[in-house]
Chain A
Amino acid sequence: AQTVTQSQPEMSVQEAETVTLSCTYDTSESDYYLFWYKQPPSRQMILVIRQEAYKQQNATENRFSVNFQKAAKSFSLKISDSQLGDAAMYFCAYRSGRETSGSRLTFGEGTQLTVNP
């Protein structure tokens, strides 16, 4: 079974600074997808960024980028120029590429990010 681990329960960053959230995963599959979701106090789950395992290029979405290290099974999220609105719980998630898996997501434990003004 796949597992996702986020070893940082809490992180903090100064506004306008850069912060990196860590995520590691364990799988024997070669075809899969990785995601970062953001859950602000409203508790809405918002997709931040996704990465296909077959792509070597790291995904980027504006101020958000990932460092995908497939051999190390690491998928960290970098937030540049942090803003107060970035404060939230961040979840790393894994999804198998096999259609028989039912496309279920496996979530990490989450990292609570605080942005200090």
Chain B
Amino acid sequence: GAVVSQHPSRVICKSGTSVKIECRSLDFQATTMFWYRQFPKQSLMLMATSNEGSKATYEQGVEKDKFLINHASLTLSTLTVTSAHPEDSSFYICSARDWFQPQHFGDGTRLSIL
């Protein structure tokens, strides 16, 4: 079945640093990738949708300059949390699909900002 790899699985860093999270589709070409944020015991909140080679579409209330998304190829999208602060601590999940697949999810990244 389709596999989506997300890296790193966990990151702890100091306030003010930038953190990059990678999302790769391993056995299919992802025409669209999605980035979600999830707080404990809550549902997934869509942050942005990215299509290969074009700018990401951000959901209302999501800061574009804070959460930089790059979808440079059909198999890779990255989310960079810039100048991260403790309130950015959360669980971030990516997903990917092509025209034929439902969304398949990465294993998520637990981000902790000290």
Residues in chain A within 8 A of chain B (CB atoms): 33, 35, 37, 42-47, 50, 89, 91, 95, 102-105, 107-110, 112
Interface residues on B, range: 20 to 34
* A33 to B103 alpha-carbon distance, docked (Å): 12
Q: Is the CB of A44 within 8 A of B32?
A: no
For A104, list chain B residues within 8 Å (CB). Answer: 34, 46, 49
Residues in chain B within 8 A of chain A (CB atoms): 32, 34, 38, 41-44, 46, 49, 51, 57, 91, 93, 95, 97, 102-105, 107-108
Q: Is the CB of A102 within 8 A of B107?
A: no
Determine the residue in chain A with the shortest Cβ distance to B2.
A47
Q: Is the CB of B93 within 8 A of A110?
A: no
Given A44-B105, A89-B41, list of 9 further CB < 8 A pairs? A37-B105, A42-B107, A43-B93, A45-B105, A104-B34, A105-B34, A107-B43, A109-B43, A112-B41
Q: Is the CB of B44 within 8 A of A91?
A: yes
Q: Is the CB of B102 within 8 A of A35?
A: yes
Other-chain residue from A47, A91, A102, A110 in contact with B49 (beta carbon distance below 8 A): A102
Give the most central of B51, B57, B105: most A CB within 10 Å.
B105
Give the shortest distance, in Å, between B107 (CB) and chain A (any CB): 5
A44-B107 contact, Cβ under 8 Å, with A102-B57, A109-B43: yes
